Structures are given as structure tokens and as C-alpha cells.
Amino acid sequence: MRMLITGGTGFVGTNCVDFMLRKYKDLTITVVDNGDASTNRHNKDYLLATYPDRCIVYHVDVRDRQALEEVFRDQKRFDTVIHLAAVGSNWHALDNPKFAFETNIQGTINVFDLAQQYGVDKFCNNSTTETYGPRHPSSTFFTEESPLQPRTPYNISKAEADKYILEHMNDTMRTFITRSSNIYGERQHPHAVIASMIRSCLLGKPIKITGDGNQSREFTHVMDVCSAFDTILHKGQPGIYNIGSGENVSINRLAEIIQGHFDREEDLRIYGNQRPYDDRQYGLNHTKLGGLGWKPTVELEGGLRRTVEWYKSIRGELDFEIIESSFGEVQQRVLMKQNLFNTDSVHPSLSRA
């Protein structure tokens, strides 16, 4: 079996490669990744050292259709494509919307069209819960039929990519769209909320929280997400599948749990301006996926413990001070532009999707 994973040296990508190669001994995986982040370079080294004969890594940006097509030509044929390459951060997408749209929309179109052109059997595009927009506390959890109400460059771009795929699906290539809740776990880039809290604790600094910290999120461990991909590809019917854990937690409670894994004499939290479009709550109904026999196996507190231990183990391999400084600059630029955003707006082309 032959599989292509785009974004395969990123957080979810590396874990997905690891999961699939451990489970399927006759599988080889080709990875496409632009390798921009320092964590991606660390992950690439890990994959090539662990699977020297079963994993190939191409330094290719999915926006570059010509270079991407050369990968399809070189490798002859893939049975399955899992598309994970994306600008996956609201902060980075708000800072550079053009790059987010080029990567998340045009990049997805490139991968999807080439997969159809080169006879791929199965295609899975990983999207996000945020395409549904904010969930009111009194409303039901989002199902796969819920209308899309994206509001940020990140989730607008992901929703538009989903629309393109749904409009161009055919019977030849079995196509799936997964919409995941917030994913966390080992190898996550240190700017994500859980990883950033761990990074602050490792550096002995206060945890920075935007807004009041009472906004809640549904967190799913990356290994559960990888097993969901596997279940959907082998048992699912073409279409959309939500992936979630059912565990919602406030950002304040998250900070308390993470600080509990460090020798801190006091609660060190500082609060700053709320990010534009920082929705108060998300929540996914994953009954459809559960019908295939899938269920999450990593509960939040145990998953957080594993994630903290992993970051402690690689502390000497990544320069967290540089990462913090770089991401702080991104946040500052976004907050300086905050008055440009209308936080009540919904992307008009998707409000009735």
C-alpha cells in the first residue's frame, strides 16, 4: 500500500505517519511538507531515522502545483491521500490572510485535483470544527449537517476548501472531509494553546491568556484523531465526519491542570486582550463516526500528562525562547489591527452553506 500525507512533518502529520506505519507493516508513506517550522525539521529527522525504508519526505509547498505534480509522477500512484497541509493557526491567518487563503484553498485544490487526475482511490481532507462558527451554550452540538458560519481567515479558508471538494467529488475517488475539534498532544507546535501553556511553564513564566479565560474548547488527543482517520478510510462512506472527544473545558481550567504538572508555588496567569473572533464555545456531535465503531480512548487529563512529559523530554532540542518571541510578534501585530475586524460578521458566501 502507498499513501501520501501532505503536511506530514507537522504536528498531526508526523503523528499520523507514525500511527499508520506502526499499524500497517506493508505500507509506505510519501510526505509532502514545506518544512517551515523548527518543529517540522525536528519531526522530519525523527521520521527518516525511525522509518528509513518506508517514509520519503519531499520539501514541497502545496501551493506549487508543478512541484506537487512531480511528486505524483515520481511515485507513480498512491492508494490514499490524507491532506493535512494548512495554515492551521487563527493568529497566523489573521496576521497574513493572503498566505492562509493561498495555502488552505489553492493548496487544497491542487492536492485534490492531482489526486483525482492520478487515480487515487481514497482522499481525506482534514478541516476544522471552526467552520461551523461559535456554538451558543444552550444550543445542541454541531452535526455534519449544521450550516457553516466561519468568521476568520483561517476558518473561512477551510470552509471554502471544503465547498470545493464537495462540489467536485466523483464516484471514482472515495472522498472524505473530517472536521476535528481542537487537537492536542505530542509534537504540537509550541504556539497552540496547550503547547504554549506548557512552554510558559518550562520557561518559568506566567501563562498568557487572551480574554477572560472562560471561553471553552473541546480537545481531542492526536492519537484519537489518527485512529479516526483510519476508521473513516476503511469503514466510512464518502462524505463529512466530525471528530471530537466530547470533553469541553475552559481555558482557565486548562491552565490549572497544566500548572499542576510543574512545581509552581502559585498560580501564574496573566490576561490580555481577546483575539478577534475568539468564539466562546465549540462542540461537535460525532455520533456518525461512532457508528463506524470509533470512540476516543485518551481522556483529557491523561493526554495532558503525556503531552507535558513529551515537552519536558525535548526541552533541550527546541529553543522555546525564540519560539515565544517570534509568536509574540505575530500576536502583537494582530492585536494592533484589532479595530479593523468586525467580530459579529459571518462570511457571506458561506452563511447559508
The CATH number of residue 72's host domain is 3.40.50.720
pLDDT per position as a tens digit, 194-207: 988 998 898 888 99
What single DSSP character describes residue 103?
I
Mean of pLDDT values over 42-54: 94
Position 20 in a domain: yes
Domain assignment present for residue 124? The answer is yes
- List the domain range (segments joined by +) for residue 171: 2-188+221-246
Range from 106-110, 271-275, 332-336 that averages highest in pLDDT: 106-110
Per residue in 303-321, pLDDT tens?
Answer: 999 999 998 988 766 555 5
Amino acid making up residue 332 = Q
Q: Is 215 part of a structural domain of the chain?
A: no
* Contact assessment for residue 182 and residue 245, using Cβ atoms and an 8 Å cutoff: no
Q: Which of these, 135, 152, 186, 151, lies nearest to 309 by C-alpha position?
A: 186
**3-state SS track over 66-93:** HHHHHHHHHCCCCCEEEECCCCCCHHHH
% of the chain with per-residue pLDDT over 70: 84
Mean pLDDT of 162-178: 97
Give the pLDDT confidence score for residue 350 in this predicted structure.
Answer: 44
- 204 vs 159, which has greater pLDDT? 159
Alpha carbon distances (Å) from 346 to 101, 138, 167, 190: 16, 20, 21, 29
Distance CA 48, CA 53 (A): 8
**Tens digits of residue pLDDT in 121-154:** 999 999 999 899 877 655 678 999 999 999 888 8
* Distance between CA atoms of residues 217 and 215, nearest Å: 7
Instruction: Tally the C-alpha atoms within 13 A of residue 179's C-alpha that lie toward its C-beta.
Output: 29
Is residue 233 in some structural domain? yes
93-127 pLDDT tens trace: 778 889 899 999 999 999 999 999 999 999 999 99
- pLDDT at residue 91 in the model: 67
Per-residue confidence at 348, pLDDT binned at 50, 70, 90? Answer: very low
Please, what is the average pLDDT of the chain? Answer: 87
Question: Considering the domain boundaries, does residue 99 fall inside one?
Answer: yes
- In this prediction, residue 343 has a pLDDT band, given cuts at 50, 70 and 90, of very low
- pLDDT score of 81 more than 50: yes
Q: Is the pLDDT of residue 327 over 70?
A: no
Answer yes or no: is pLDDT of 172 > 80. yes
pLDDT higher than threshold 50 for residue 272 = yes
110 lies in some domain: yes
Task: Provide the pLDDT for residue 110.
Answer: 98
pLDDT of residue 342: 41
The count of structural domains within the chain is: 1
d(CA 104, CA 154): 8
User: What whole-number distance in Å separates Cα of residue 55 and Cα of residue 135?
Assistant: 40
Terminus-to-terminus CA distance in the chain, angstroms?
36
Q: What is the pLDDT of residues 209-266, one digit of tens each?
A: 888 888 888 999 999 999 999 999 999 999 999 999 988 899 999 999 999 999 877 7
344 part of a folded domain = no
Is the pLDDT assigned to residue 332 strictly greater than 90? no
| Assigned domain for 69 exists | yes
Nearest alpha carbon to residue 253 among 186, 183, 300: 300
Rounded to 5°, angle at Cα 168 from 68 and 244: 85
Over range 51-66, report the average pLDDT: 97
